[in-house]
Structure 1
Amino acid sequence: MGHIREYYERILKLQETEWEFIASHFDRRVFAKNETITRQGETEKYLSFVETGIVRFYIPDDENELTFNFCFDKEFTCAYNSFLTQTPSEYELQALTETVVWQISYDDLQKVYAETKAGNYLGRFVSEKLFLQKSKRELSLLKHTAKERYLNLFNEQPDILKFIPLKYVASYIGITPQALSRIRRQIA
């Protein structure tokens, strides 16, 4: 739980009683490599803090899965729109490596928001951060070429290229694996 506290305290110094109340609502869970964390069609019940591991967001399809996000160590994650609306998710979350998370349920998070000032502030901060990340990605898909998206990814998130299979990287930047191979040859 220390990583969650560190994450929070980069934003706001917590009183010990607030931290104890917040921490009491989180449970540790371990997902095996390639295990599904959230299934398409299921309602997201938990907000997760990734202690270690990599999570992939994707839309399953028999012919061509669409990967559209990744989450790494020390970040919050979930099928966020499903979590907020408590409706079925349109996509899946998968552990690409063994992934250790600390989870808080939707109902418990509402209690933390209602009963602590810090929890309410931190929830807003995390929500705003997720929104900004999503907006940046959408703008990148609209404004940049595939080569520019790959180079930006290489500069901004080198972990993606170190630990994630290239077929998922290609899908993430909106191209085929063959097109990604051509771009990588051009750059080399």
Structure 2
Amino acid sequence: MLRSDRIKNIFGQLVDLSPEEWQAFTEHLEEVSFPKNSFLCRAGETAHYLYFIYRGAVRVYHQTEEQEFTLNFHFENEFVTAFSSFITQTPSRVNLQALEPVQASRIHHQHLYQTYQQYHHAERIGRLFAETLYVQKTNREIDLLSLSAEQQYLNLLQKNPKLISSISVKHLASYLGIHPESLSRIRHKLAVNS
């Protein structure tokens, strides 16, 4: 399967794009790769690209003078950008960092929005993705407020067990809002009970 066909399959679950609509989108796609620990976007920069990850993982985090706060992880077959910055075309407050080598396709903000203006189905896909992101963000906030760190870790582990086991304790603990020592205890407990 061609890489772009993976995006087409995801879009096809939402709407039935005509060949003309699909061509208008793909003619602006650019394939890119990022080495481990490199940045797709840094805080203070404006996010000009929306990425689709074919391989690898990306961490989204905010940094203060005292510490880092991991907001999310994005994996294979997911879209990622600094969404607030991308939508408003203002400087990002978050960093997007490759946790391992990343292969992706990207589309520039200008080209994506031109496609939205030209094609109703493209605009509908954009709206549906925005709705999905809103639901995910709301669920994440509820999880932070209502689930234990162990339950949150188990949810993340279920989503991508192989990759989660390779993410540093420091980054995972930051995502869960706990100290690395607490995450080590959770992992030990789960290993003993399995």
TM-score of the two chains, using structure 2 as the length reference: 0.90
Matched residue, 2:145? 142
Shift of 1:62: 5.5
Whether 2:97 is the aligned partner of 1:102: answer no
> What's the RMSD between the two structures over aligned residues?
1.5
Residues 140-177 of structure 1: per-residue CA shift (max 9 Å, x gap): 11111222222232334434523322221111111011
- What SS does the corresponding residue of 1:50 show, helix, strand or coil? strand
Matched residue, 2:178? 175
Whether 2:134 is the aligned partner of 1:131: answer yes
Matched residue, 1:8? 11
**Do the aligned residues in 2 keep the contact of 1:52 with 1:99 (CA within 8 Å)?**
yes
Matched residue, 1:33? 36
Residue 60 of structure 2, aligned match among 57, 60, 74:
57
Shift of 1:101: 1.4
Residue 166 of structure 2, aligned match among 137, 140, 163:
163
* Runs of 4+ in structure 1 over 6 Å off: none
* Structure 1 CA distance for aligned equivalents of residues 39 and 159 of structure 2: 27
Shift of 1:80: 0.1
Gaps of 5+ in 2: none
Structure 1 residue identity aligned to 2:152: R
**Do the aligned residues in 2 keep the contact of 1:167 with 1:177 (CA within 8 Å)?**
yes
Structure 2 residue identity aligned to 1:162: S
- Pairs aligned (count): 188
* Structure 2 CA distance for aligned equivalents of residues 90 and 20 of structure 1: 33
* Structure 2 CA distance for aligned equivalents of residues 177 and 126 of structure 1: 33
* Structure 2 CA distance for aligned equivalents of residues 103 and 156 of structure 1: 24
* Structure 2 CA distance for aligned equivalents of residues 152 and 74 of structure 1: 18
Structure 1 residue identity aligned to 2:94: Y
In terms of mean alpha carbon deviation, does 10-19 or 35-44 score higher? 10-19
Shift of 1:129: 1.2
Structure 2 residue identity aligned to 1:118: H
**Do the aligned residues in 2 keep the contact of 1:46 with 1:105 (CA within 8 Å)?**
yes
* Structure 2 CA distance for aligned equivalents of residues 123 and 183 of structure 1: 38
Residues 17-72 of structure 1: per-residue CA shift (max 9 Å, x gap): 11111111211111111111101101111111112110100123455322110101
Gaps of 5+ in 1: none
Whether 2:83 is the aligned partner of 1:80: answer yes
* Structure 1 CA distance for aligned equivalents of residues 131 and 9 of structure 2: 19
Residues 98-152 of structure 1: per-residue CA shift (max 9 Å, x gap): 1111111111111110001221111111111111111111111111122222223
Structure 2 residue identity aligned to 1:145: S
Identical counterparts, % of pairs: 38
- What SS does the corresponding residue of 1:163 show, helix, strand or coil? coil
Shift of 1:14: 1.6
**Do the aligned residues in 2 keep the contact of 1:160 with 1:169 (CA within 8 Å)?**
no
In terms of mean alpha carbon deviation, does 68-77 or 152-161 score higher? 152-161
* Structure 2 CA distance for aligned equivalents of residues 103 and 77 of structure 1: 9
- What SS does the corresponding residue of 2:50 show, helix, strand or coil? strand
